[in-house]
Structures are given as C-alpha cells and as structure tokens.
Homo-oligomer: A and B are copies of this chain.
Amino acid sequence: MIKLNENFNKLKKNYIFAEISRRTEEYKSQNPTAQIIKLGIGDVTLPLSDCVLNAMHEAVNEMGEAATFRGYGPYEGYEFLRSAISKNYLKYGVDIQADEIYVSDGAKSDTANILEIFQTDENILIPNPTYPVYVDSSIVAGRSICYINANKDNNFLPLPDYSVKPSIIYLCSPNNPTGAVYNRDELKKWVDYALRNQAIILFDAAYETFIEDSDLPHSIFEIEGSRHCAVEICSFSKGAGFTGVRCGYVTIPNNLKIGDKRVGEMWLRRQSIKFNGTSYITQKGAAAALSKEGIEQSLKNISYYKENASMLSETLKELDIWHIGGKNSPYIWLKCPNNINSWDFFDILLTRINIVGTPGSGFGTNGEGFFRLSSFGKREDVKKATERIKKLQYLI
C-alpha cells in the first residue's frame, strides 16, 4: 500500500508567501479600490537587457533551422556559458575553470537538490532566520537540522560555534532575508570551521551582484582554504533579471573531494539522472548577460534597485526604525516598531498604508518581531511607499 513521504507533515503548515498572498487577496476583495504596493517577494521588475533579448532571439532562430537546431545539451551546461561564468569570476580575482561550473535552471533547485549527493544522516547547520528552501528541502529529505542564531546582537551575521559539529553548512551572503553581508574575516572563520569539521559549506551567492563595498567578498572562493570545503550556488535571477527565464549554476572546485570521490563528479552524476540540462535559448541569454554590454546593463538595473533600497532606508532612519541591509543587498531587514510582532506589523502595513512586505517570522523564530522589505519594486511605487511609511508614526 502506497504511503506518502511523512516528512512533508513536518513542514510548517503555511508557506510564508502563500499566506501573504492569502491575506492580501482577502484584503483586496474587501477593499477593491485599495492601491496596494508590493514590497514582499524578491522578484525583479525591470525588463531584460537588449543584448540578452538579442541573444535569445538568435537562439530561437537557430532552433528553427535543421543545420543549427540543438537537441539535448550537456547536463553540465554548454561550454560557451561555462567559459563566460569562469571569466566572470576573474573580476573578483578568483580562478574558477569552466569545468568547475554546472549550469542549472536556477539557484533554488540547486540549493535544494545538492543535498541529495550527501548521506541523509548528515547534520545540517542553518542560520535562523533563513531562506526557507534550505530548511524545507532538508526536512522533506528527513535530514536533521541544527540552527545557529542570527540576531540583533550579532547584526544577523552569526559566527561558528565550535561546540556544534555539522557536516553541511548553509550560508547566504548577501543574506536573504536580512541583507547582512559577511566580510572576508568572518567568512574565513566559517571556512576554518568547515575545514576543522570536514564539513561542506553550501554558499548561496545569489545576491552577490548587489555588493558595492570593494572589501566585501562576492564569492566564497575569495577566501583561502575554501576550495577544499565549499560549493557555491549562484543565479542569473537578480542581477540579469532571470527570475522568469530560469538559469543558475553551481561551482564545485575540482579539488573538492570527499574520500577519493570528486564532489563535482557526484553532482554531475545526480544531474544526469534527475535533470536534462537547461534550455539552450536560456543559456544563450545567460552568456549574453555576462558580456561587457550585459554586465553594464545589469549594473544599471541593480543601481536602480539600490536607489529604491536607499530611499526606503532613509525613510526608516527618519522614523528611527532599526534596520540593516539595503546597501549591498536588495533587502531591508527592520525591527518592527513598538515591539509589534511580524504578522501584526504585516497586517498594519497592509490595512493602514496598503503595503505588502514579508513578516520576518516566516524565515525562522529569530525573525519574529522583524520584517523584510524588498527593493525590487518600481520607482514610483517605492516613492509612494516611502510617503506612506512616514505616516506610520501616527498610526501605531
């Protein structure tokens, strides 16, 4: 008799974004004229750049001619894209070869799927609060999680606790949801800790393009020793605006081994069984996003979002609301004023000033009392949002 994977019962009942959308829809149905501004989910709003569009048009045309048609591609991605990514790493002084890169349909799939190559009884360390995918993909696979506290005291940048001995460590910097960014010294501490424990760091760098301070690391591979303990997961979603196009990649150094097995080889084997490569058209677009023109356009978009973040941050400062992020990150992480809890603050923003944000408690218990604002909105919306937020002081 067939049974369902019981681990699904251990998931939190309401997935945060589903609950946000439920409450928002409910409010909208009762207040159909309300002009709601969404600063919730981390989805981009600016269109793709011209060079990406051109590359994708060209790829579509190639698919229409027998001589240039492409069927199944390599599981690990096309050489042209892997080379472009490899070259892009040089910007940060990092030497990553094309054959250390594994292209995928997005960083979310990768952060979840990569667990499959490790034993299921491994102890997984996850900061609290966190991007929910690390937790949920661990839970459904029946894996045990230990949390490390991120909080106001450590500026939401927890450091290793040597009394805990995990085998897998999820780190995300710039962080989702908090926007906090590790510096080199801090990341070095994590690398040392991982090496000491013979653990693997799964480093989620999906927001690296938002880093502007030149002394902050974009890649874990800027840190000495990391090639022996880290895997990096990155994405075209936020920089190049690929949330609807779907492209990401995993970087696994060739010398990263467990016993005598190369981790990269294991990952490729996993991908060859459960994945069939990323769309050729998508990969052509992604490669164009890493061209000179593509990067210039991405940076323009990113500075647009960061100007949004800065406007939100200025407003919060005026109101004396504690917050971090927004500078090297698209997210602002604020302490709900007057010690209001996260969902109550969500309801206040929604019903009083018609702004939708993300309750911090949805990212873990340490997020309770905090709130995430995203800067991916349109300028005019963000402008309006800042005006509305200023009214908050009279409302709560």
Contacts and interface: CB of A to CB of B under 8 A. Distances in A.
A73 B47 CA distance: 15
Contacts of A113: 274
Interface string A251-276: 00000001101010010011011111
A274 B141 CA distance: 11
A313 B8 CA distance: 49
B5 A245 contact: no
A378 B348 CA distance: 64
Contact of A50 (B50, B64, B263, B274): B64
A69 B43 contact: no
A244 B3 contact: no
Nearest 3 A/B pairs, CB to CB:
A43-B71, A112-B274, A71-B243
Contacts of A46: 66, 69
A117 interface: yes
Nearest to A42: B72
A61 interface: yes
Interface in A253-303: 258-259, 261, 263, 266, 269-270, 272-282
Contacts of A105: 105, 246, 275-276, 279
A316 B64 CA distance: 33
Interface stretch (A27-35, A90-98, A195-203): A195-203
A122 B105 CA distance: 29
A46 to B, nearest CB: 7
A200 to B, nearest CB: 5
Interface in A43-73: 43-48, 50, 53, 56-57, 60-61, 63-66, 69-73
Nearest to A107: B276
Contacts of A120: 5, 142
Interface residues of A, number: 79
B198 A2 contact: yes
A41 interface: yes
A93 to B, nearest CB: 27
Given A2-B122, A118-B5, A167-B3, A69 B53 contact: no
A272 B112 CA distance: 11
A275 B56 contact: no
A4 B118 contact: yes
A1 interface: yes
A108 interface: yes
Contact of A66 (B45, B141, B277): B45
A11 B116 CA distance: 14
Contact of A2 (B61, B199, B275): B199
B43 A65 contact: no
Contacts of A26: none
Interface stretch (A132-140, A217-225, A323-331, A359-367): A132-140
Given A119-B3, A243-B72, A281-B245, A266 B199 contact: no
B2 A118 contact: yes
A15 interface: yes
Given A53-B61, A66-B45, A245-B280, A108 B274 contact: yes
A43 B72 contact: yes
Interface string A227-263: 0000000000000010111100000000000110101
Given A118-B3, A119-B6, A120-B5, A60 B56 contact: yes
Of A2, A60, A197, A245, most buried by chain B (CB within 10 Å of CB) is A2
Given A108-B276, A279-B282, 14 more contacts: A3-B167, A4-B118, A5-B266, A47-B69, A48-B69, A50-B64, A56-B63, A70-B244, A71-B244, A105-B279, A108-B274, A140-B273, A245-B279, A246-B276
